[in-house]
Every structure is written in C-alpha cells, then in structure tokens.
Amino acid sequence: MRTPTRISSVPPDTRITPARIVAADEPSSPPNHRRGGPRPHRKRGRRPTRHRPAGRPYRTATKLLFAALAGVAILLLADRCAAMYAEKKAQQQLQKALHLQAQPQVDIRGFPFLTQVVGKRLRQVDVTVPHVAADRVSLARVHASARDIRLHGDLPADVRGAVIGRLEGNVLLAFDDMNRELGASQVKFSDLGGNAIGARGRLAVAGQELVVRARAHLRRTGDDGIATEIDGMSLDIPRVATYHPGGTDKRLVLHREAAERISKDVARVKALLSVPAIAERLGVPASVAAQALRSEERLHEVAGTPRFVEELMRLNFVDVLAEHPWLLEKLGVDPKLLTALSELQPPELADRLSLSFQLPAQAKEYDLRLQAVTVERDGIRADLSAAALPVGSSGSTS
C-alpha cells in the first residue's frame, strides 16, 4: 500500500491542473527542452533540395571572361612579337641592300599583323633612314611611307619579294649638315623665305678677310637632283665698302659709316670734288665745287648735308677708280684689294657658295622621283614618290 503524499497548503485562488499520471510499467523518457515541441520524424527517401547561393553563376562568368581576356592578350603579344621580328629583319635587309652606315627604322602599321601576312598584303610600312650620302653633302633624313604592299613567296617562312602599290616620302637636307660638310669655304646657309636660301661666309682676298653674302634659289635637276642658282652676291670690305661682282655690271659702293667719315674729312672731300666727273655724279655743280675747293666754310656746307652722304653711297666707285686710281688711297682702300676683287670671276664665287645633291644611285633602280622642293627653317625638304615599286624577286608568286 502506497503511502499518501502530504500536500502543503496552497493559496485558495490557485488553480491546480492535474498532472499526467505515469503508469508504473511505462518507460520514462528524458525531458524535451527544445522549443516547439518534439521534432517531427522525416520520411525516408529523397532529400530536400538545397538552395544554392545566387552569386555562383556570376563567379563562373567572371572566370570565363578572365580566361578570354588572357587568351586575347596572348594573341596580341604573339602578333606584336611577330611584327617586331619582321621589322628587325627588314631593317637588316635594307641596311645591307642600300649599303647604309646606320640601320634604318621600319614600322609596320596595321593590326593584326599575322592576318596581313597570311593574306599576303600589308597595309602600310614606314621607313626612316638617317644620314644618306648624296653628292657633296649627306641627307639628314629620308622618310618613306609604303602602302598596299603585296607580298610574294611561301609565307610566312619565305618572303621572296614584294610590290609596293604606292610610295610617298621626303628627304631633308639640313642646314647644319650643309654648314659642316661645305665648311671648307666657311659658308653658312639659312632660310630667307620665299623658297630662297641665304649663304654667308668668309673669303680671304689680297690678305684681307671679306664677308661673302649671296642669295640662292632652288631648282630641280631632273627627277633625282636639286641645285641652286646664285644671285645677289656681294663681298663686304669691313667698314669701307661692298663689292658686287656681276660680270659686266660690277659695283663698289661705300658703307654709310665710310660715307659719313669721308664727308667729315676735308682732304678727302676736296679730292673727290677736284674731279669734275665725280662732282657731277655727286650732284654738285661745277661752280659750287669750285667755291668749295676755295672755301672750307663753303665745303662744309656742301659736304655736311645728308644728301651728300646719300649720293656718296650711291656712287659706283668701280668706274671712278678705273679712271682715277689715285683716289683709292684717299678713300682708304688698298689698291691691291680692288685689283684682286676685279679678278674674281662670278662663276668661281658662285661655285664656292652653291650647293647641289642627287638621290643615291639606288633610288634610280627603285624609280624614285623628286616632287616639290621647299625651304624650311631646318633645311631643304624635297618630296618623293613612286608607284608599282618592285622590291626583291617580286615577279615570282606562289
């Protein structure tokens, strides 16, 4: 018999709920502390589908994109490497074929290069050759741009030749090179504008160093050469006069400095006015010249005017001194110098100041022709062109 349980006193307002009575023979189970009651049993068989993260397809696409970009980069690198190799081989072949001292620069334009080679047609190739020998001077630069180049041979391993559809370029004859290579006569060239070149140098005549000046105009000599025509040549006697050799039209005119100096020298003015022909050329009437020779005051009135100085500067002393050589010393000119100047021939002087050049002999083989010729600040520029230009064994095709 079970002993009765004592129930302690419970407040009267407390509601007592009957507990679940466990039978004596029922096995006991541990308490379930999980929320929501006991976990329902899952049915055996197919597992429920798990939801994958939404970003996984984007990561796959990104990897594919990176792989594609890497492949394109490799193709680009291979194409550029092939182009650089071809440029290097072309530079070596050009240097050998044209007998150049410096290696030219070759740039193959257009992309991709390999597809152009497979198609046996290059869009454009630029070539720059520095310091090419041409007659008396060297060309500072020869630049050519070849377009529509058709290749022949077993490409890409064997390129036998090519035909250039159109070639355009230019050559530069630099003034610096001209000054250095034509420096035997100490001549310097410069741009005077209007497609003209100025030449300035020094020339020793009768023991005196004279300044030589000339103006040269460019002209083409055929399709492969350029030459100059010299005009306006002069030789300056420092601080005295300028001599213009011109065949039958020789002139010797005083500098302003010398004319002003003579107009202030009484003895020299009297020497000039004592020759009636010279006084007449100076615009001094014979009666006034006679008064000036008798009175220094009157002489200063005649020689002290600006008009007298201007007339002195316009007077051609070649004719005067030929008839009155004793005036040379009066004017401060060495007679030996005038004799040496009169013996100088214009062709000889022109040869010292002239310049010319022709394209190398190889240019004729390639049918290169000079076009427009212009004078720029740095030198002389001549455009050249050619069409249907064969290079190498272009006649053979495969």
The pLDDT confidence band at residue 377, using thresholds 50, 70 and 90, is confident
Q: Which residues pair with 235 in a beta bridge?
A: 212, 243
Residues forming a β-bridge with 375: 380
Residue 23's pLDDT is 47
Residue 110 has pLDDT above 90, yes or no: no
Position 188 scores a pLDDT of 81
Q: Determine the pLDDT at residue 112.
A: 82
Residue 214 has pLDDT above 90, yes or no: no
Percent share of the chain, pLDDT over 90 = 11
What pLDDT sits at residue 397?
38
Q: Which of 36-40, 166-170, 216-220, 336-340 has maximum average pLDDT? A: 166-170
The pLDDT tens digits for 133-174 are 666 666 677 888 888 888 877 665 666 677 888 888 888 888
Other residues' Cβ atoms within 10 Å of the Cβ of residue 248: 4
The pLDDT of residue 309? 93
Greater confidence, 183 or 133? Answer: 133
- In this prediction the pTM is 0.58
CB 33: neighbour CB atoms within 10 A? 5
- Least reliable range by pLDDT among 35-49, 159-173, 270-284, 347-361: 35-49
Domain positions in the chain are 72-176+359-392, 186-217+233-354
Contact (Cβ atoms closer than 8 angstroms) between residue 132 and residue 162: no
Q: Which range, 32-41, 252-261, 384-393, is most confident?
A: 252-261
Measured between alpha carbons, how far is 358 from 212 in angstroms, rounded to an integer? 26
